[in-house]
Amino acid sequence: MNEEDYKGAVYSILPIRVCKLGKKISKGELLTFISMCTFSNRQGLLFATCESIGARSGQDKNTVANNMDKLKKLGLMRDLEKKFQKGQLSKWKTGRRQVLYLGEGRDEVPNHEELPVVAFNKMDRQHLKEHIEQAEQEVSIKHEPVDMQYLSVLNGAVSSALGQSVQYTPQEYEKYMRGNDIKITFEQVFPKARAFIQQHKRSPKLHEIMGEL
């Protein structure tokens, strides 16, 4: 790599929490993530292509794309809605991604950006089926009290809408559900959570999402 590859950048922000992942993240995935960080701003926003990211990390674009899939599962990044850049020559919208510095639903969507618009009735059927089956399986396995049995469904639906893991605690859920008899389904929560996130640019608090059901 020569000096021109840096395009003036000589350092970047790297979230400390990535150091705690240990063997959960491979060397190649870490290189991809570090390269992404060199392209991102303080909100984690970056427009770099897989080719550009790979040029800095010494990886081909397919390796970078595969590593990104793992980074999403680890909650280190998410995709944003594609847009046209001012003055761009290409007829294709520019891809946008966000490095998640804080995690656990605490990273706000960057200014003037949106999460990918996914119409619930047009969501990939296999993707939707897997999420529903996983949520229902978690509910049946845990044998939780009746007023707690839908917590896994709620966490799964909001996490899918946000694009990163969200975990409402049993304590706050139990406090809200005391005296309420509400049946929660993935199909019910997902579009409500998506609408809230698009409007407020953040993860909904428990009382905010429950108030929409």
In the chain, what are the domains?
A: 3-99 (1.10.10), 120-210 (no CATH)
Residues 129-165 have pLDDT tens digits of 665 666 555 544 444 454 567 888 888 888 888 877 7
Query: pLDDT band at residue 62, thresholds of 50, 70 and 90?
Result: very high
Give the pLDDT score at 65. Answer: 94
Query: pLDDT band at residue 127, thresholds of 50, 70 and 90?
Result: low
Q: Is the pTM of this model over 0.85?
A: no
pLDDT at 56 over 80: yes
Give the pLDDT score at 146. Answer: 43
Give the pLDDT score at 163. Answer: 77
Residues 96-113 have pLDDT tens digits of 899 999 887 788 888 777
Under 8 Å between Cβ of 161 and 193: yes
Give the pLDDT score at 61. Answer: 93
Sorted by sequence, the CB contacts under 8 Å of residue 16 that are 6+ apart come out as none
